[in-house]
Structure 1
Amino acid sequence: MDTLSWIAIIVICLIVIASLVGFIRGGRFHFQVEMRESRFSAEIFYTLLVIYSIVIIGFGLIYFILSLHHITLVENGELKEVSIFGTFVHSFYFSGVTLLTIGYGDITPIGIGRLIALVEALIGYVLPTAFVLKLVQNSQEGRKD
């Protein structure tokens, strides 16, 4: 990559980081533009991160255990023999991708793994909704006080 591309990447990263830090801190001014007050709750944000991490680890362990018996995951349409560490990495990768994006299709569940992946994907859709509802509830309680 040329120098201009690296500069653009660095500038974009700095803007994203500054925006995230400002959002998390609840600041009112971002890049000289006044924005409405943030309703960000650090407690809810960290709780969401911990719950997502627990779900990814839990389902990753389920996929790993089932993959040891060649029951769960197929890579690129065929069952490949990989090391224990490779199986571990594939299981946690698949768990994270399934929870956060509903998958890329490079690793596919088979058998009971399809049902497990379906449940994990459903959890991935429901969790953000629950936290948004909690933020709305907190906001409404704040207005009553």
Structure 2
Amino acid sequence: MWYVLFLGVVICILMALRMLFFPARFKFKEVSFENFVFLAITYAVIMIGFGMLYLLLELKGYHIFNDVAASSAPGPFYSRLGTAIYLSAVTLFSVGFGDVAPVGMGRFLAIIEALLGYTIPAAFVVRTFIDFDPAARGKY
């Protein structure tokens, strides 16, 4: 069951990224509320997805993050879930605060997530301008 959940989360993250880089039916005619919602949903899926990856690996027995504020003993499930989502959010949107630090395999995941966090806005802007520019689409 753990492997199915893990694979499902990875597939959700990849599908969100696919929609960003290869939109099937979105027509970005201008910067709009729909574009903003699309970007927010993409960020939310990636943030929650990586949070779930951190949590699933932690529950599997891998030591993925150190929580400075918590005791050394593993906390209850919801506490660990909150910490995993928090670690994901601060990694995706910044370089982290230092109160929760990835360790071991978590560092590799954090690098991938931080890279995505920095490239998604650029990809979104470029994609918006390519789809907005009639010359770039071959329509004059």
TM bucket by the smaller chain?
0.5 to 0.7
Question: How far off is 1:45 after superposition?
Answer: 1.5
Check whether the contact 1:56–1:96 (CA below 8 A) recurs between aligned residues. Answer: yes
1:11-60 alpha-carbon deviations (Å, 9 max, x no partner)? xxxxxxxxxxxxxxxxxxxxxxxxxxxx4223322211111111011101
Supply the distance in 1 between the matched residues of 2:117 and 2:37 (Cα, whole angstroms): 16
Query: Which of 106, 122, 135 does residue 113 from structure 1 map onto?
Result: 106
Match for 2:36: what amino acid? F
Task: Please give the secondary structure, in 2, of the residue aligned with 1:130.
Answer: helix
1:116-127 counterparts in 2 under 5 A? 116-127=109-120
Higher relative contact order (CA 8 A, sep 6+): 2
Q: CA RMSD in A?
A: 2.2
Q: 1:82 aligns to what?
A: 75
Say if 1:44 and 1:131, in contact at 8 Å, map to a contact too: no
What stretches of structure 1 of length at least 5 have no aligned partner? 1-38
- Bigger radius of gyration, 1 or 2? 1
Q: Does 1:45 align with 2:63?
A: no
What is the identity, as a one-letter code, of the residue corresponding to 2:67? E
Partner secondary structure for residue 141 of structure 1 = coil
Give the counterpart letter for 1:43 in structure 2: E
Q: 65, 76, 85: which one pairs with 1:73?
A: 65
* CA distance in 2: counterparts of 1:72 and 1:125, whole angstroms: 22
What TM-score results when the alignment is normalised by the length of structure 1?
0.66
Structure 2: runs of 5+ lacking an equivalent: 1-29
Aligned residues: 107
Partner of 1:141: 134
132-141 or 75-84, larger mean C-alpha shift: 75-84
For residue 94 of structure 1, the aligned residue among 87, 93, 115 is 87
TM-score normalised to structure 2 length? 0.68
More divergent stretch after superposition (112-121 vs 95-104):
95-104
Contact 1:73/1:79 (<8 A) preserved: no
Asked if residue 104 in structure 1 is aligned to residue 97 in structure 2, the reply is yes
* Displacement of 1:66: 1.7
Q: Contact 1:72–1:112 (CA<8 Å) still a contact in 2? A: yes
